[in-house]
Structure 1
């Protein structure tokens, strides 16, 4: 099993969600985060004065999937989130040792 964490532009969330639904992903957890990468933030103007914004708003998606769905999920997120510009985001993949569904006590693949 894999834990997939993707950090994307907030405006791409709907497209990513739709693409993941198409491949049968049953659920996800999202959170609003802030950060920066190569773009190092951006300059905005407030009352005519330039202001450097160092941390840009991003959306973080968490998904737990079976090993056989990993590549399809990565492809779906990449395809839906990509704009070709700085700040499109990153995907991180970690191994999951164990998963337990609290309501039923199901474990691992059955709990996904």
Structure 2
């Protein structure tokens, strides 16, 4: 199983989640985050005064998927999130050794479904 941490532009969240749901990913957690990467912030004009913003607003989507969905999920995320501009985001992938559903005690991939 894989843990995907996906950092994307806020306007791409609905596209990415829809793409993941279309391939059968059922569980996700979404958080509002701020960060800095290649962009190193932006300059914003507010009421005639220019401000430097060091951290860009992004969204973080986290999900656990079966190994069999990995390639399909990564392809779907990239297709849904890509604009071709700096700041499109990143996908971080980690191995998951175990998942346990608290309600039923199910383990492994059986615990991922609804």
TM-score range, shorter chain: over 0.9
Q: Secondary structure at the match of 1:40?
A: coil
Q: Using structure 1 for the length normalisation, give the TM-score.
A: 0.97
The equivalent of 2:10 in structure 1 is 10
> What is the alpha-carbon root mean square deviation over aligned residues?
0.7
- Offset of residue 100 of structure 1: 0.5
- Once residues 18 and 64 of structure 1 are traced to their aligned partners in structure 2, the CA distance between those partners, rounded to angstroms, is 16
Structure 2, unaligned stretches of length 5 or more? none
Aligned mates of 1:82, 1:10 — CA distance in 2:
12
Cα deviations across residues 39-72 of structure 1 (Å, max 9, x unaligned)?
1110001221110001111000101011111111
* Segments of 4+ moved more than 2 angstroms: none
Aligned: 1:55 with 2:55: yes
After TM superposition, the score normalised by the length of structure 2 is 0.95
Inter-partner Cα distance in structure 2 for 1:63 and 1:76: 14
